Amino acid sequence: ALLLVFGRRGLLGGWLDAAFGVTLPFTTAGVVLAEAFVAMPFLVIAVEGALRAADTRYEEAAATLGAGRWTTFTHVTLPLVAPGVAAGAVLCWARALGEFGATITFAGNFPGRTQTMPLAVYLALETDLEAAIVLSLVLLAVSVAILAGLRDRWVTAP
C-alpha cells in the first residue's frame, strides 16, 4: 500500500517528487512513514477507547460555564483521555520498535540510512549469530527499561 501510494509512480509519490522533489521510498522519512503506518492503529484504538469512556458531563459543564470548544478540549477532554493517549503512544512505539516487514519493503535495509534494529538482527543472523543475539538483547533491554519506567504510572492511581 505504501509503495502504491508513495512510490515514485504511486498515486501521491509522483506528484510529491515532481512538485517538491520529495522521494519517500528508501529514505529515513520512509522508515518513519512505514513504522507509523503499521503502528498507528494501536494509538488510534487506545485513544478511541479513552474518548468513548470519557464522561461527557465534564465537557457539558465547561460549556455551560462559557468555555469555548478549544478551551474545553485542552482543559477538560485532553486531561481526561491523557492516560489513554499515553498508553496508545507506548503501544504504538513498541509496535514500531519491532517493525520489520513494512520497513524492509518500503524503506529498504541500507546500513546507516534506513536500517532499523530488527533489520540489523535479520542481517546479523545470516553472518554473525552472536551479533544478532547482542542486538536482540539491546532491543529487549530498551523495551524492558521503558516499560519498567512507565509501570509506576500505570499501576498507581492518579
pLDDT (tens digit per residue) in 20-53: 998 999 999 999 999 999 999 999 999 999 999 9
14 lies in some domain:
yes
| Residue 47, φ and ψ in degrees, nearest 5 | -70, -40
44 lies in some domain:
no
99 lies in some domain:
yes
Region of residue 72 (left: phi > 0; alpha: psi -120 to 50; beta: else): alpha
pTM over 0.85: no
- The domain of 146 spans 2-39+84-155
CA 67 to chain centre: 32
* Residue 27 neighbours by CB under 8 Å, 6+ apart: 107, 113, 114
66 lies in some domain:
no
pLDDT digits 0-9 by tens, 48-93: 999 999 899 999 999 999 999 999 999 999 999 998 898 899 889 8
75 lies in some domain:
no
* CATH number of the structural domain spanning residue 91: 1.10.3720.10
Average pLDDT, the chain: 89
Angle of CA points 126, 117, 147, to nearest 5°: 135
76 lies in some domain:
no
- Whether 2 and 105 have beta carbons less than 8 Å apart is answered as yes
46 lies in some domain:
no
89 lies in some domain:
yes
Could you give the number of structural domains in the chain? 1
